[in-house]
């Protein structure tokens, strides 16, 4: 007698197909790689308004950084070395002087920070940036 073995559909599946699982894994990886850098730009940052408290009546000096990169101190153009020498003398004679740095809006941020670093290295720690009030 000839016996026939019946095969069901489940007998043909003897292992899990990994291809759809790998496709899904790579798809999720790509989505997170694209979405993660965008999260940095979606943070809502509201800068403070330009209305500051009244400036105390302390001895102060203003340093101007012009659009062409030159430094104006007390109405005359000075080099960085001259400015550092002047500030060294000022620190020796009036150590509590507050310095205000006014830079042109077109100056790269890097140049403003470099000048602030040089001023700080000359001994002054109280340095303020001057901005103009925005019109609403």
Calculate the dihedral angle through the C-alpha atoms of 110, 114, 120, 124, rounding to the nearest 10 degrees: -80
In this structure, the number of other CB atoms found within 10 A of the CB of residue 24 comes to 10
Residue 50: what pLDDT? 56
Per residue in 73-132, pLDDT (tens digit) is: 887 889 989 988 998 888 888 888 888 888 877 778 888 888 889 888 888 888 887 776
**Helices marked H in 42-136 — which ranges?**
80-93, 109-121
The Cβ of residue 31 has, within 10 Å, a number of other Cβ atoms equal to 10
């Amino acid at each position: 007698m000839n016996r026939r073995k019946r095969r069901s559909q489940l007998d043909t599946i003897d292992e899990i197909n990994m291809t759809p699982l790998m496709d899904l894994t790579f798809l999720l990886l790509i989505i997170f790689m694209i979405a993660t850098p965008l999260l940095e730009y979606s943070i809502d940052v509201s800068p403070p308004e330009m209305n500051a408290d009244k400036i105390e009546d302390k001895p102060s000096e203003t340093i101007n950084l012009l659009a062409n990169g030159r430094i104006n101190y007390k109405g005359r153009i000075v080099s960085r070395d001259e400015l550092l020498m002047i500030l060294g003398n000022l620190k020796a004679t009036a150590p509590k002087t507050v310095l205000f740095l006014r830079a042109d809006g077109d100056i790269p941020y890097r140049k403003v920070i470099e000048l602030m670093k040089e001023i700080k290295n000359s001994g002054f720690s109280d340095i303020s940036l001057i901005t103009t009030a925005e019109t609403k």
